Amino acid sequence: MKSRFSLFTALLLASLAVLHASETRYAPAWASIAAKRVIKHSNTRNDTLANAVAALQPGDQLVIAAGTYSVERTWNIEVSGTVEAPIWIVAEEGAQVILTRPDDKQNVLNIGQDSPVHHLCLRGVEITGGSHGLRLGQCNEVWIDQCHIHHTGAVCLTANSANSHRLFITRNHNHHGGGHGEGMYLGANHGEFIMSESVIALNHIHDCKGEQGDGIEVKQGSWGNLIAENDIHDTQYPCITVHGTAGKPVNIIERNLCRRSEDSAMQVQGEAIVRNNVLIGGKGSGFASLDHQGKSLNLQVVHNTIVNAGDAFKGSSWNAREGMVLANNILYSRDKSAMNFPKGKEGTIIVGNVVLGDAPKQGTTRGRGLEDFVSLTWDGEKHDATPTAGAPFDHAESKYLLDTDFKGTGRTKPLSGAVAK
């Protein structure tokens, strides 16, 4: 496969080789820089918080006291820090800070809608109501961390109105968005706006049941992004949907837990590496790949555990496509196919997979059933995909063997699937 990585993506992958590293491994390089000035804010009246934010200078940290802050006008953050002096907007430790507005005529909060914003961190606030909860525009080196975004009139978090670069969206809790209902909508249709070299990690996203309702959707043309260790469940559309990069460096999708989708648990068009994910209980397929706004090509699906009542894997557009690899996965279907290639699989590399359900013989070994896992159910209610002692998973192809697994544990045996013993 001719994967084209940027230097940024290569560095991200190198950092993930450190086992059991702290959660800050997904943070920007300036994450540990201390504020030069700390400002405390506790006035909840009218637009006082918005005005306090607008007055921030590089190196400032605004600490917001507990309370509900309702901003009636359009609120757009336009202040920027520097790599040596970021701007921090944070909830006071242990405090519930709620940002909202009285109606859904505007988004609760925008960042960089009218002018570029960079080296800014928003942390620990709760955002509810309004139209979009949080909308990111012309943002570069912007970190959204440990925020709670829920019960919004439209999508919880969007970055689809301008090009964005090096976003860090980590440890957030998003749920019950209205309208289209996505937890995160990143990039725009047909590559009109692109998110690049960003990190979407450690987020908990659920109950996305709007008109569409993907958990995380990364649109066509967005490239070089890392989507890692997110816990996503109970969605209308796939828990994670990622389109192609239009020839740019691939996206990395790894160590995510996706379950209980009314659609497929995960859907990836192409130009990506999909590895060490646990996917359970999609009403469609466990994993689906098909042409959408671009063609499926250059896609590696490696060391995933996919357990589904319907098709475990469905590659609708994999026939005679460049760089297609399906290796070292556990693909269990209760009622249909472990592997379904509706239009053929010519040229696809298929090795090291353990299957239950219909599948080609070449590159596969038969599994037994759910007794191969410590605690796992077809509907994803139980989702511990650790192999049991007798699980017949020791058939991984060495060429595609990963050093670590879903939990970040080193692999000592050539086991297929996401989780090592």
**Distance separating alpha carbons of residues 296 and 186, to the nearest angstrom:** 19
Contact assessment for residue 404 and residue 17, using Cβ atoms and an 8 Å cutoff: yes
How confident is the model at residue 253, as a pLDDT? 98
Cβ atoms within 10 Å, residue 414: 15
Measure Cα distances from 315 to 113, 195, 304, 346, 352 in Å. 38, 26, 15, 12, 17
Q: Which helix (H) or strand (E) holds 29?
A: none
Tokens 């007055």 -> residue: 55
**Distance separating alpha carbons of residues 100 and 305, to the nearest angstrom:** 40
Q: Which helix (H) or strand (E) holds 50?
A: helix 48-54
Cβ atoms within 10 Å, residue 394: 13
CA R_g for the chain:
22
Contact assessment for residue 355 and residue 331, using Cβ atoms and an 8 Å cutoff: yes
Contact assessment for residue 273 and residue 16, using Cβ atoms and an 8 Å cutoff: no
Domains of the chain, start order? 7-254 (2.160.20), 300-421 (no CATH)
Tokens 């390089």 -> residue: 29
Among residues 213, 209, 261, the alpha carbon closest in space to that of 233 is found at 261
Strand order from edge to edge, sheet including 266-268: 76-77, 109-111, 134-136, 157-159, 184-186, 216-218, 240-242, 266-268, 287-289, 313-315, 339-340
How confident is the model at residue 421, as a pLDDT? 81
Cβ atoms within 10 Å, residue 73: 10
87 — alpha (psi -120 to 50), left (phi > 0) or beta?
A: beta
How confident is the model at residue 23, as a pLDDT? 59
How confident is the model at residue 312, as a pLDDT? 98
Q: Which helix (H) or strand (E) holds 11?
A: helix 7-15
Cβ atoms within 10 Å, residue 23: 13
How confident is the model at residue 8, as a pLDDT? 39
pLDDT averaged over consecutive 10-residue blocks of the chain (421 residues)?
Answer: 39 37 79 97 94 98 98 96 98 98 97 97 98 98 98 98 98 97 96 97 96 96 98 98 98 98 98 98 97 95 98 97 98 98 97 96 95 97 96 96 96 95 81
Residue 25 tokens, joined: 């491994």
| Amino acid symbol at 412 | T
Q: What SS3 state is found at 197?
A: coil
Q: What SS3 state is found at 294?
A: coil
Q: What is the pLDDT of residues 203-214, one digit of tens each?
A: 999 999 989 999
* Residue 120 main-chain phi, psi, to 5 deg: -135, 135
Intra-chain end-to-end CA distance of the chain, in Å: 29
